[in-house]
A and B are shown apart, each in its own frame.
Chain A
């Protein structure tokens, strides 16, 4: 390990301006002048002049690191050597693929920028662990990035530094012009072998001048791999919100920094249906700009209003009601996809959006909003987040949101899918939303309900050993949107293939004969589907007995196999499934055995199965209702016991016997 002192710390990539030429070439260097017909660029000390007519654009780097950078001392090589030598991390790294000996993050201000520095010192413990030697860092277009150093200390003490061709600059966007972009850099470290130690430090400089696109990062004090020492320094000028760190994370003030420190962080196991770590991990939120939602909302609505003075109102005279207006905009303005966290929250000028016929979800919503205002309505704008991440009510940052909803009177409109009906919003929407006009965080479910429901009525009869089903399925909300989208995008033949696949997986081993879409109006939030399918070998004969397959949905017991749980179970969206099945029994047989009714109902879910017999009809009722997005660890065991007991119905039998 003594060779470590020979390490050289080199800044591999300095920030630079980029001149984009029409022929696709990129010229990197410092732009030193722009004149009438040419631009001069200094590239590695040499000057080059480029004709203006050859240029499409120039991007300027914001940050040029220099000696005046405000840094506090990072760990030095002696500390690093001692940390590797003392092996104290062994207590948490047994059975792991790698361990982070140190992770040090620092956030501070520098002039009008916010700087994030990250240093990771990682030891690879298995060949699988060596794959964790590549990284992708992404950041907004206006930020700049540099690798301060990146090196691998081999087990024999030799040091291998990164090669420039193993750093890739990415601008990962094909969005239309004018939209903010994100960039990224991907880094592959050489020499990653078992017992090697990887050590790298990067720096990202964020512009903080745009209050609607501020600095925002969450720092999680737990991970799926062990961390021996995790230290976060945050300059005290910045807004900080802490969640769940009491008694877990050490917190103290050093000069003008707050230091958060946690040692010997054990790895969280990966679990099925695990929630995002934001639901269970200690977190420190760091952000710039506003401290109150009201201030953020006031600034945001100003930007929104600037872009929503719509001039082509007459083009929409023919639309008599709001619902048809919504359907028209939602279906005909071409959404280019992507998340607002990457492309931004401020809508573009609605006149341009209308003229171009393309835009983001926010642009579509803004166009709708502007038309409603011109018609004298007072529409509400709700910014909403999706349930896959925990929404933090105390952190007023736009980046927490994933979508925008427009509400007028008692109806609500969601532009996140081209085939959304009116008066509907996606069932993955979280309960808490920002009402932009009032600046309040509100519970959106108080006025508008989520729809996510499937109701099925099945009649079944036997022919030989095949069970034939006539199935009427009524879908409400999210499932109906999914099918309608396919109906609109697929040809009849490919849609049929989709339904064949659906039938086969939903009704294990069944084959579609035909189907009818009874109603497919995109505007309404339901869809009626008649399916005709059959299941060959639907029963097995053994001696005098006929064993029927249980025709109910299979309860997934894999997820609840584990006796204890380290993370909450993430159920996701609330939903309801109801299935009523009537089976006409063949002549000459009687029911020899049928399972007992079983049910449970708690605050997270409701399951029930009932079976009845009348003349030659077997009647089965199945009901499943998901009520919550999360099952916390503390209630896991009780819930598991109830669910597993119920799941035994999957393995039950209906046995018929010849009379």
Chain B
């Protein structure tokens, strides 16, 4: 493929476009600025205060027509069989070719070449291209960006229409230095083929010695040819692993030597599109992909990370003073850890400023984060570690990939892994994980998306799996005292409390709510279950006391809740059905596993006092389900003497991931649980 500038015929139209603040524009081939005055075409003099922007146009490149019919036809032929196979595809990806080159000096090139046949209007969006780069680390060149028309015309993007923008940041993440190159390939229509090729030269990588290429071979559209090429100097070793490959695919790459390089090529054809499903694992956990590394052990990466971390985990007198004051009067190690864990969550805000490597993976010095009062996950983890070390507790920052966004680590392929940093803390010799990035995690709870993933502890040179917790340790408890009144209204006194991370969500929700919204929110909650609801009282215990369990108390009446139908009275146990609804199993079958953040546990206890004139006609039978994924136990009992119905249930989900082959059985199990929630209690007039 020839370089872009060689394939076009430049046409000089003008050299400068001058844009005024009032929206007017002028084109000129002569422009000078002297002091405060612009001289345009040697005749027009304009004060600089009126000029907004000058676009330099050394070569205005108009739509350039060149016979490309044979190229179009060649690509079109390659797309043909997939077009027939997937007639409703938005586009066919004819080429999906990536090449990763590790240069002798440790810098590297990444070239990507794509060719797409556009079959539906929505594919036209591919004409808008946006590519990010970090100006202090890499250069990005657009080698080719063009549209091939069926009549043979080739229209290239105008280089002057390529814009460089600052990265757009969202939420609490700041990008001090990232840039984006954007442009639109013109005149693109359905039926056209667009071709894009670009190269990144990473001249300043994080670590010149570490080279970890990877590539995914599947897309959301059919792919005619996907190829991944890796070139490394002969002196280097490359270890690699294939993942999620269909059984029919060739397992080994083609390997040959060329010049002073070893070349590895993985190439696959006619790849079906990936059809996305809700709650599926991250792309690289399901798509066929290759991961590779020139590191045969983790040592270099451990040392690289550890050097940054150690330099930043420094106990200064100020940090020592704060740590000591936080744990004053606390004797146990777990008490000390809890105090510091709660303090850092409340005092150090989460703001991520992505300005340099210092804040990319290595974080700022502990003292800097303390002074700023904000930091990203790495900053907070380093400060937390430092404060713990100051009071004699062993702790380390560890890197993880959060389970909903990042693929699972392959421990055999050393890499700079992860999108998040948390902390491993040793209490009486036992290691636990804590995540100070949160706002409201009560010790020893930590974020759900940190679970079921690997953690890299660079300082200790360890990689360890963070298990999914036993659901019995993270139960959500709902207790009700229910009284059926003689007029068939029902009075509820309810208490909710939580053992796991769910508490953090509830605590954050109520903290975010202003106090003048609480009553209306409780009213809305009870009304969503019964329209004739009346709130009597509500109370939230320990909302701002992170050390103590959060407890929500409500008292309310559901008027006319017991339905009298002829000679029977119907009573449906409220609210529990909302918590056991399993909306996520709506698909009849799944191609990909169903994933959750973590395990889960819910427990109900209801004591229902009957009025003197009613007795039980029928109670639902008990239910007892146990599978490797979930268990559910529920039972109604009637205490005739005290005229009370007691209901208890416990739902436990043990695993985070349900594989697709077990999905149908899982779905059928949870449907039985849903059905059970609908069963009413039937009461009748008590015979005298």
Q: A190-B372, A492-B88 are in contact. Are A24 and B527 (CB under 8 A)?
A: no
B453 within 8 A of A: no
Min CB distance A522 to B, Å, is 10
Contacts of A126 in B (CB 8 A): 511, 544
Min CB distance A289 to B, Å, is 12
Is there an interface contact between A142 and B351, defined as CB atoms closer than 8 Å? no
Q: A269-B516, A561-B520 are in contact. Are A356 and B187 (CB under 8 A)?
A: yes
- Specify which of A24, A62, A356, A488 is in contact with B133 (CB 8 Å cutoff): A24
Per the bound structure, the CA–CA distance linking A560 and B172 in Å amounts to 33
- Specify which of B127, B169, B618 is in contact with A334 (CB 8 Å cutoff): B127
Per the bound structure, the CA–CA distance linking A489 and B133 in Å amounts to 30
Is there an interface contact between A174 and B182, defined as CB atoms closer than 8 Å? yes
- Specify which of A173, A497, A512, A556 is in contact with B277 (CB 8 Å cutoff): A497
B249 within 8 A of A: no
Min CB distance A310 to B, Å, is 16
Contacts of B135 in A (CB 8 A): 24-25
B56 within 8 A of A: yes
Min CB distance B360 to A, Å, is 13
Is there an interface contact between A561 and B515, defined as CB atoms closer than 8 Å? no
Q: A334-B125, A489-B90, A593-B565 are in contact. Are A34 and B164 (CB under 8 A)?
A: no
Is there an interface contact between A500 and B586, defined as CB atoms closer than 8 Å? yes
Min CB distance B291 to A, Å, is 27
Within 8 A of A (CB), among B163-186: 163-169, 172, 174-176, 179-184, 186
Interface string of B24-39 (1 = CB under 8 A from A): 0000000111110010
Interface string of A499-517 (1 = CB under 8 A from B): 0110111000101100000
Min CB distance A351 to B, Å, is 12
In chain B, what residue has the closest Cβ to A358? B184
- Specify which of A36, A269, A489, A540 is in contact with B675 (CB 8 Å cutoff): A540
Is there an interface contact between B515 and A34, defined as CB atoms closer than 8 Å? no
Contacts of B169 in A (CB 8 A): 168, 170, 186
Contacts of A497 in B (CB 8 A): 275-277, 587
Per the bound structure, the CA–CA distance linking A136 and B165 in Å amounts to 17
B121 within 8 A of A: yes
Q: A34-B31, A174-B182, A504-B583 are in contact. Are A269 and B517 (CB under 8 A)?
A: yes
Within 8 A of A (CB), among B645-659: none
Is there an interface contact between B160 and A56, defined as CB atoms closer than 8 Å? yes
Q: A174-B128, A190-B372, A557-B531 are in contact. Are A23 and B139 (CB under 8 A)?
A: yes
Most chain B beta-carbon neighbours within 10 Å: one of A213, A271, A542: A542
Is there an interface contact between A192 and B588, defined as CB atoms closer than 8 Å? no
Per the bound structure, the CA–CA distance linking A491 and B675 in Å amounts to 33
- Specify which of B23, B140, B374, B675 is in contact with A24 (CB 8 Å cutoff): B140
Contacts of B168 in A (CB 8 A): 170, 172
Interface string of B17-56 (1 = CB under 8 A from A): 0000111000000011111001000000000111111111
Min CB distance A248 to B, Å, is 19
Within 8 A of A (CB), among B612-626: 617-618, 620
Within 8 A of A (CB), among B425-477: 439
Within 8 A of B (CB), among A635-659: 644-645, 647-648, 650-653, 655
Is there an interface contact between A188 and B374, defined as CB atoms closer than 8 Å? yes
A131 within 8 A of B: yes
In chain B, what residue has the closest Cβ to A641? B531
Per the bound structure, the CA–CA distance linking A130 and B347 in Å amounts to 9
What class of interface size applies to chain B in its complex with A? 35 or more
Per the bound structure, the CA–CA distance linking A23 and B181 in Å amounts to 10
Contacts of A282 in B (CB 8 A): none
Within 8 A of B (CB), among A53-101: 53, 55-60, 62, 94-97
Contacts of B678 in A (CB 8 A): 537, 540, 547, 549
Q: A130-B349, A536-B671, A653-B563 are in contact. Are A644 and B531 (CB under 8 A)?
A: yes
Is there an interface contact between A592 and B174, defined as CB atoms closer than 8 Å? no
B8 within 8 A of A: no
B355 within 8 A of A: yes
Q: A34-B32, A57-B54, A191-B373 are in contact. Are A644 and B527 (CB under 8 A)?
A: yes
Min CB distance A469 to B, Å, is 15
Q: A24-B164, A332-B189 are in contact. Are A190 and B531 (CB under 8 A)?
A: no
Min CB distance A305 to B, Å, is 16
Min CB distance A311 to B, Å, is 15
Per the bound structure, the CA–CA distance linking A552 and B132 in Å amounts to 49
Contacts of B63 in A (CB 8 A): 355
Per the bound structure, the CA–CA distance linking A178 and B186 in Å amounts to 13
Within 8 A of B (CB), among A1-37: 20, 23-26, 31-36
Interface stretch, picked from A204-212, A380-388, A421-429, is A204-212
Per the bound structure, the CA–CA distance linking A269 and B146 in Å amounts to 53
Is there an interface contact between B527 and A332, defined as CB atoms closer than 8 Å? no
B130 within 8 A of A: yes
For chain A, the count of residues having a C-beta within 8 Å of the partner chain is: 124
Per the bound structure, the CA–CA distance linking A549 and B674 in Å amounts to 13
- Specify which of B33, B158, B566, B671 is in contact with A593 (CB 8 Å cutoff): B566
B311 within 8 A of A: no
In chain B, what residue has the closest Cβ to A543? B618
Per the bound structure, the CA–CA distance linking A586 and B517 in Å amounts to 49
Contacts of B21 in A (CB 8 A): 62, 142, 207, 209-210
B103 within 8 A of A: no
Is there an interface contact between B186 and A56, defined as CB atoms closer than 8 Å? no
Is there an interface contact between B55 and A57, defined as CB atoms closer than 8 Å? yes
B353 within 8 A of A: yes
In chain B, what residue has the closest Cβ to A169? B166
Min CB distance A443 to B, Å, is 32
Min CB distance A36 to B, Å, is 8
In chain B, what residue has the closest Cβ to A206? B21
Contacts of A95 in B (CB 8 A): 514-516
Is there an interface contact between A653 and B565, defined as CB atoms closer than 8 Å? yes
Per the bound structure, the CA–CA distance linking A24 and B511 in Å amounts to 44
A562 within 8 A of B: yes
Per the bound structure, the CA–CA distance linking A31 and B618 in Å amounts to 88
Contacts of A25 in B (CB 8 A): 135
Is there an interface contact between B175 and A168, defined as CB atoms closer than 8 Å? yes
B80 within 8 A of A: no
In chain A, what residue has the closest Cβ to B39? A34
Min CB distance B352 to A, Å, is 10
Min CB distance A501 to B, Å, is 6
Contacts of A141 in B (CB 8 A): 52
A377 within 8 A of B: no
Is there an interface contact between B176 and A210, defined as CB atoms closer than 8 Å? no
Is there an interface contact between B139 and A24, defined as CB atoms closer than 8 Å? yes
Is there an interface contact between A190 and B565, defined as CB atoms closer than 8 Å? no
Contacts of A57 in B (CB 8 A): 53-56
B255 within 8 A of A: no
Is there an interface contact between B161 and A334, defined as CB atoms closer than 8 Å? no
B528 within 8 A of A: yes
Is there an interface contact between B514 and A59, defined as CB atoms closer than 8 Å? no
- Specify which of A142, A271, A332 is in contact with B121 (CB 8 Å cutoff): A332
A462 within 8 A of B: no
Per the bound structure, the CA–CA distance linking A209 and B22 in Å amounts to 5
- Specify which of A24, A94, A271 is in contact with B520 (CB 8 Å cutoff): A271
Q: Which 4 A-B pairs have the closest CB atoms?
A: A95-B515, A561-B524, A561-B527, A504-B586
Other CB < 8 Å A-B pairs besides A127-B439, A209-B50, A490-B88, 14 of them? A58-B53, A170-B169, A188-B174, A191-B372, A193-B373, A207-B52, A209-B22, A270-B517, A271-B517, A357-B124, A501-B278, A557-B528, A561-B525, A652-B563
* Cβ contacts A to B, 12 pairs, < 8 Å: A34-B33, A52-B56, A95-B515, A165-B355, A174-B182, A190-B372, A355-B186, A358-B188, A500-B586, A537-B672, A540-B675, A542-B679
Report B's interface with A, CB cutoff 8 A.
Answer: 21-23, 31-35, 38, 48-56, 58, 63, 86, 88-90, 120-122, 124-125, 127-128, 130, 133, 135, 139-140, 158, 160-169, 172, 174-176, 179-184, 186-190, 273, 275-278, 346-347, 349, 351, 353, 355, 371-374, 439, 508, 511-517, 519-520, 523-528, 530-533, 544, 560, 563, 565-566, 568, 570, 572, 583, 586-588, 617-618, 620, 671-672, 674-675, 678-680, 682
